[in-house]
């Protein structure tokens, strides 16, 4: 075997092993903060836990932890926030899948929460995950050396989740479904609906680790670029993906009459935008004094993913 090919294969295998280790670490942290399935209301706990444990990349908590490490963070106060961001992300997916929204019956190859537990319990499970996330995040006050940083992190989590963040973006997305969107409107939806939680994840990691205000600003810029690349890649996969790999129906955007960057720019134009946002994100990351090679590779792998 050619030595360069062998070296590349070894590096690829090393990355995969490291990725699996990080994923197990993240999964254990998220699972540890889930509610125990006991008591008269255990059905809601079961629906919540089913939703969170149905699979996923754990992208947001993993990015949070790696940015925290990038800026020298070493404490345990990051862990409640890792669980909280995944609960919030999951709550949005539970509601997205409902018949009143996207009416999806499968996600990640498994039946969606409303199919398993009914629409009523899925609504409650989504609400419960959103609220419980902040209860969990508040536990970081008891773990932190710098409680002021925790306070700012809670504020970031709330702001990027609510009407000026994810929910605001989702509102415009739902309102304009079935109607053509301008590029400005689509950009707004993507920056809030997808980008806001990614920004929250990475910014919370930076804040809890003690990054200065300028570093926090650059982390926000990096996160928003990653969010745009990630969502546009999602548009591309909705057209070109393999349902067995993606775990969700291909062509759902067209079925739901949604405007995407593929419909606005064409497939090649959308791919070019992914490349541009990728360059922006990696350029910002490479500009920080410290290095985190795993974070760099993680960002590249997520942007160029096939599922």
The superfamily CATH assigns to domain 19-303 is Farnesyl Diphosphate Synthase (1.10.600.10)
> At 5, is the pLDDT very low, low, confident or very high (cuts 50, 70, 90)?
very low
Question: Quick check: 193 and 89 in contact, CB under 8 A?
Answer: no
Which pLDDT tens digit goes with each residue over 58-93?
A: 999 999 999 999 999 999 999 999 999 999 999 999
> At 36, is the pLDDT very low, low, confident or very high (cuts 50, 70, 90)?
very high
Residues sharing a CB contact under 8 Å with residue 304, sequence separation 6 or more, in sequence order = 233, 274, 278
Radius of gyration of the chain (CA): 19
CA–CA distance, 161 with 132 (Å, rounded to integer): 13
The mean pLDDT of 228-244, rounded to a whole number, is 83
DSSP characters for 252-306?
HHHHTT---HHHHHHHHHHHHHHHHHHHHHHHHHHTSSS--HHHHHHHHHHHT--
Q: What is the pTM of this model?
A: 0.90
CB atoms within 10 A of CB 21: 11
* Residue 282: Cβ-neighbour burial (10 angstroms; 0-12, 13-18, 19+): middle
- Predicted confidence at residue 177, as pLDDT, reads 83
DSSP H/E element including 110:
strand 110-111
Which pLDDT tens digit goes with each residue over 22-34?
A: 999 999 999 999 9
Question: Quick check: 64 and 10 in contact, CB under 8 A?
Answer: no
Question: Quick check: 113 and 97 in contact, CB under 8 A?
Answer: yes
Share of the chain above pLDDT 90, in %: 78
């Amino acid at each position: 075997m050619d030595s360069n090919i062998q070296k590349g294969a070894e590096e690829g295998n090393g990355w995969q092993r490291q990725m699996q280790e990080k994923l197990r670490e993240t999964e254990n942290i998220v699972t540890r903060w889930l509610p125990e399935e006991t008591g008269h209301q255990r059905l809601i706990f079961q629906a919540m836990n089913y939703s969170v444990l149905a699979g996923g990349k754990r992208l947001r908590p993993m990015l949070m932890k790696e940015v925290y490490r990038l800026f020298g963070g070493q404490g345990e106060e990051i862990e409640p926030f890792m669980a909280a961001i995944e609960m919030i992300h999951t709550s949005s997916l539970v509601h997205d899948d409902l018949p009143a929204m996207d009416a999806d019956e499968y996600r990640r190859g498994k039946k969606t929460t409303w199919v398993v537990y009914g629409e009523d319990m899925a609504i409650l499970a989504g609400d419960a995950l959103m609220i419980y996330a902040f209860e969990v995040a508040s536990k970081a006050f008891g773990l932190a050396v710098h409680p002021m940083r925790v306070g700012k992190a809670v504020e970031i989590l709330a702001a990027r989740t609510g009407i000026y963040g994810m929910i605001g973006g989702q509102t415009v997305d739902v309102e304009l479904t079935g109607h053509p969107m301008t590029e400005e409107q689509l950009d707004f939806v993507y920056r809030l609906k997808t980008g806001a939680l990614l920004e929250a994840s990475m910014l919370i990691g930076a804040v809890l680790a003690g990054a200065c205000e300028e570093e926090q600003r650059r982390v926000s810029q990096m996160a928003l670029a990653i969010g745009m690349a990630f969502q546009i890649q999602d548009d591309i996969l909705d057209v070109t993906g393999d349902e067995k790999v993606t775990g969700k129906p291909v062509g759902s955007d067209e079925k739901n009459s949604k405007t995407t960057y593929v419909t606005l720019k064409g497939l090649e134009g959308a791919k070019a935008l992914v490349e541009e946002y990728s360059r922006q994100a990696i350029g910002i990351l490479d500009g920080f004094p410290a290095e985190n090679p795993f974070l760099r590779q993680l960002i590249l792998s997520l942007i160029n993913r096939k599922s």
